[in-house]
Amino acid sequence: MKNTFNHLIDTASLSLTEIDELLRLALDIKKSPQTYVGACNGKIMATLFYEPSTRTMMSFQSAMLRLDGGVIGFDNPSGSSVTKGESLKDTAKVVSSYSDLLVIRAPWEGAAKAAALTADCPVINAGDGGHLHPTQTLTDLATLSAELGRLNNLTIGLCGDLKYGRTTHSLVKTLSKYKGNRFVLISDKNFTLPDYIKNHIAATDCTFTESDSLGDALPQLDVLYMTRTQRERLAVGENPTTFVLTPQLMSQGKKTLAVLHPLPRVDEISPLVDDDPRALYFKQANYGMYVRMSLIVTLLNITKSHPPVPLLNGKTYDGISCLNPKCVTNPAYNNVNLPRSFLRTGNTYECEYCSHPRAGRGD
Ligand code: NCD
């Protein structure tokens, strides 16, 4: 099979066959881990984490170590040349010459794509600001596929901070590739899913409704995806409602309900729910390690088997730059010479790094 990717920047840009193959491999590694010992012997993975992480970074490290590969990197840019003013592009270029795979988490939207443009090895997006989190999505899909048995014809409730929660953005974009999924978006009315993701659903054969009541939404759900408020991304004065999943609410859910959470949990799921067999979030974290093993093995093999697939498919337009202040292309972030690239539909230009739309000239 010819793959359409060399990096993992956005799970939604993979084909269904590619996603299914990654999940199949993850579940096979989970079933027979001994078969894969030594699979990355002599390979080095670098983790560039400009933002805090427990699960994502440690599951990547553990995944690589279980495959007999080595790990280098930082989990706090204050100990690296970033504090001397080095740009993301330069760091990615240099570190990729020491390693076979880069895993990057950064607060700038589109950071992983920008890094992939200069890196000399595959790049994995481990979270780019409030934009996307593709490896969490693969983790979520592996959990649903193994525990529920399907990824289509599901009613999926997503609850919490849908504005800044990158896990929900990636998950909705990817699950809307499967037939017959219905999303129930449960949030404070000021923290709904960004319009560009809702437009994305509208362009598929999936549908969505919005609600501000977890109790009203719960009985119809096959999947409930809880998320925390992304406090670190709130603008001054923003203070969303916290929704709390309790045993009382769980009693209104289907017997087959699957409750997921990317973790960390703050106070949006009562610990009293943890022993309910429908609470899958700790199992989900474990699937994450196998998903990352699958991804590492796949990306290292892909590099050998086919030439680079272009990362940018849009164009640069005179006088058009991205208006999202959190976009990696914002000049404040010191990524000089990053080519601007937009996908144009009529008078709307979508930034290919952060996905934010803007109107054309004269607006
Ligand atoms: C998520 C993230 O970093 O976006 N965590 C994770 O990777 N498992 C969710 C979160 O921090 O709320």
Average the pLDDT over 185-190 and give the result: 97
Q: What is residue 160's predicted lDDT score, i.e. its pLDDT?
A: 98
Query: Taking the chain, what is the end-to-end CA distance rounded to the nearest angstrom?
Result: 45
Measured from CB, residues less than 6 Å from any atom of ligand 1 are: 55-56, 127, 133, 136, 166-167, 227-228, 262-264
Judge whether residue 3 has pLDDT over 80: no
Average the pLDDT over 210-239 and give the result: 97
Q: Given strand 342-345, what is the order of strands in its sheet?
A: 342-345, 348-351, 357-359
Judge whether residue 283 has pLDDT over 60: yes
Q: Which atom of ligand 1 is nearest to the CA of 230?
A: 12
Q: What is residue 303's predicted lDDT score, i.e. its pLDDT?
A: 65
CA of 227 to the centre of ligand 1 (A): 9
pLDDT tens-digit profile of 79-96? 777 777 888 989 999 999
pLDDT tens-digit profile of 7-34? 999 999 999 999 999 999 999 999 999 9
Q: Which atom of ligand 1 is nearest to the CA of 263?
A: 8
Q: What is residue 307's predicted lDDT score, i.e. its pLDDT?
A: 74
Residues of the chain above pLDDT 70, percent: 98
Q: What is residue 192's predicted lDDT score, i.e. its pLDDT?
A: 97
pLDDT bracket for residue 305 (50, 70, 90) = low
3-state secondary structure the chain: CCCCCCCECCHHHCCHHHHHHHHHHHHHHHHCHHHHCCCCCCCEEEEEECCCCCHHHHHHHHHHHHCCCEEEEECCHHHCHHHHCCCHHHHHHHHHCCCCEEEEEECCECHHHHHHHHCCCCEEEEEECCCECHHHHHHHHHHHHHHCCCCCCCEEEEECCCCCCHHHHHHHHHHCCCCCCEEEEECCCCCCCCHHHHHHHHCCCCEEEEECCHHHHHHHCCEEEECCCCHHHCCCCCCCCCCCECHHHHCCCCCCCEEECCCCCCCCECHHHCCCCCECHHHHHHHHHHHHHHHHHHHHHHHHHCCCCCCCCCECCCCCCCCCCCECCCHHHCCCCCCCCEEEECCEEEECCCCCEEECCCC
What is the best residue among 167, 169, 269 to mutate for testing ligand 1's pocket, by most ligand atoms within 8 Å of CB?
167
Residues forming the active site: 55-56, 84, 105, 133
Q: What is residue 245's predicted lDDT score, i.e. its pLDDT?
A: 98
Judge whether residue 144 has pLDDT over 90: yes
pLDDT tens-digit profile of 29-51? 999 999 999 999 999 999 999 99
Question: pTM of this prediction?
Answer: 0.96
Average the pLDDT over 58-79 and give the result: 93
Nearest to 25 by CA among 79, 73, 75, 63: 63
Could you give the C-alpha distances from 166 to 28, 221, 235, 236, in angstroms and in order? 28, 21, 16, 20
pLDDT tens-digit profile of 50-61? 998 888 999 999
Nearest to 122 by CA among 141, 100, 137, 105: 100
Q: What is residue 86's predicted lDDT score, i.e. its pLDDT?
A: 86
* Range with lowest mean pLDDT among 78-87, 148-157, 173-182, 267-276: 78-87
